[in-house]
Amino acid sequence: MKVILLGTGTSTGIPEVGCGCPVCHSADPRDRRLRTSALVITDSGHRILIDCGPDFHYQATRLGIDRIDAILLTHEHYDHTFGLDDVRTIAWREDIPIYGQQRVLDSVKARMHYVFSPNPYPGTPRFKLHPIEEGADTSFELFGEQVTPISLAHGALPIVGYRIGSLSYITDMKSIELEEWAKVSGSQLLVINALRYQRPHPSHQSIQDVERLLPRLSERPELTLLTHLSHHAPSHAQISSLLPEDLQPAYDFEYIEVDKAGVHVLPLPAYQEPYTYRDLGRIAYAEAWAKQKELFEAQLEAKHEGRPTESYLLFCEHNPVFTMGKHANVANMLMSEDFLRDHGYDYFTVERGGDVTYHGPGQITGYPILDLERFGLGLKAYIDLLEQSVIELLRFYRIESTLKAGATGVWLDVGDPVKERKICAIGVKSSRYVTMHGFALNVNTDLSPFHLINPCGFKDGKVTSIAEELGKEVDMTVAKHMLASILHRRLSALLPPRF
């Protein structure tokens, strides 16, 4: 498994507001500490967040976290739970399980009452609360890993730490019974709190307390890292010099791999964007087509020369235009080219697949220029990804959509000859697994031009839009950003995992 320490500071963080001490003004980035939290990535790739404090927004955006599979809470204090609302943007699609003591979950439920009301408003995070059972053995399985709660005391408050496989994680501890401390024995990695070096505190232990505890384990961890440090502890460099190699201060965004070979502190891998996004705004079809071909040819040349390719996602709205795919049937064009041009429409025959379609204002036309080999995709799987991304976006607007056998694109009420209608057309060109052209999603589109064609070759085919289905126009910027985010997440998931 892998562990990223998202934050290693106490409730006030470091630097502390208004403080002039040397640690708060240290130039060493390891002395800048966010509120304590950790992200555990299991061997199966699932992501378990331990605590979610008020710095989660910064922690998640810095790392590009776009998925959390479960959350473990140690206790209910502000610095360990007040970031839960920031999970909303990655938790509206499906429930995220949260585990904690019943008292802790009750606190979350009361504080975030708007999430657990009978009719939560759209966009609230979806949480499913799982109380940790009381008793001698409270272990449970999570994504194939055994999770063992470790009971301890935060002053007079009973709280929990967690043993997950070869990791033990304890924070805010003042004292622990020896039978609970024994659960840590055999851990390869122990992350444990130590507020300062030696001065006693009523609810937290010191570094010297940790030093006294470690020999009481039958099997000492290969590496113990100190977290929840305050500015009253010495600096990171000073603590390191005072302690043995197997007991060291942690630091924010420390990245640790734990496997059979041991515990390894590794450089945090650089973030890799799946594509460069460009919104071309409202643009003539010929201009966007030329931009596509320029980027497309550049990637083909890069592949031919053995250089790395780049990926792009272009969004735009076109001036009114009809386009014919390379295998289109001219009979599906119900008006002559001269008629169309006389009435203000452009007309082009292009190299994409598919038949005739219309593009115009209020429609999101997307042109992904992707090297499918980089994402491990074949052409069929790529088209399916585009379709499923649109279906997910429509679900956000509470529009149920689906696919149609023998046809590309996204449809509504498939199989009903009266109601069946198309909301998104897809036509793609691919060469050496590099793509161009893409999809056209009707958002606020004027649908009347579709009467001048058999859309996508379907005689009497009906089309619709998001606005048509909702009975009102929607914000185009929001729709674009939502769809770009969905594509970003789905394509990112196909790249080699960062951590």
Measured distance CA(164)–CA(40) in Å, rounded: 9
Place of tokens 């799946």: 274
pLDDT (mean) for 65-71: 93
CATH assignment, 2-266 = 3.60.15.10
Q: Of 64-68, 171-175, 378-382, 385-389, where does mean pLDDT reach its minimum?
A: 64-68
Measured distance CA(380)–CA(399) in Å, rounded: 24
Q: Helices (H), strands (E): how many in the chain?
A: 13, 25
pTM of the model: 0.84
pLDDT (mean) for 449-464: 76
The model's pLDDT over 9-65, given as tens digits with 9 standing for 90+, comes to: 999 999 999 999 999 999 999 999 999 999 999 999 999 999 999 999 999 999 989
The model's pLDDT over 215-229, given as tens digits with 9 standing for 90+, comes to: 999 999 999 999 999
According to DSSP, the residues that pair with 374 across neighbouring strands are none
Question: Could you tell me where the beta strands, DSSP code E, fall in 145-284?
Answer: 145-154, 157-164, 167-170, 189-193, 223-227, 247-249, 254-259, 262-266, 276-283
- The domain defined by 276-492 folds into BirA Bifunctional Protein; domain 2 (3.30.930)
Q: Where in the chain is the domain with CATH 3.30.930.10?
A: 276-492
Catalytic residue among 52, 316, 424, 456: 456
Q: Nearest 10 degrees: CA dihedral of 289, 293, 294, 298?
A: 160
Residue 456 among the catalytic residues: yes
| Cβ contact 214:224 at 8 Å | yes
Residues sharing a CB contact under 8 Å with residue 139, sequence separation 6 or more, in sequence order: 146, 147, 148, 149
Q: Where in the chain is the domain with CATH 3.60.15.10?
A: 2-266
| Cβ contact 267:2 at 8 Å | no
Measured distance CA(323)–CA(230) in Å, rounded: 64
Radius of gyration of the chain (CA): 28
Tell me: pLDDT of 331 over 80.
Answer: no
**Comparison of pLDDT for 314 and 418, the residue scoring more:** 314
**Which stretches within 189-268 are classed as H helix?**
207-213, 236-242
**Which stretches within 220-323 are classed as H helix?**
236-242, 285-304
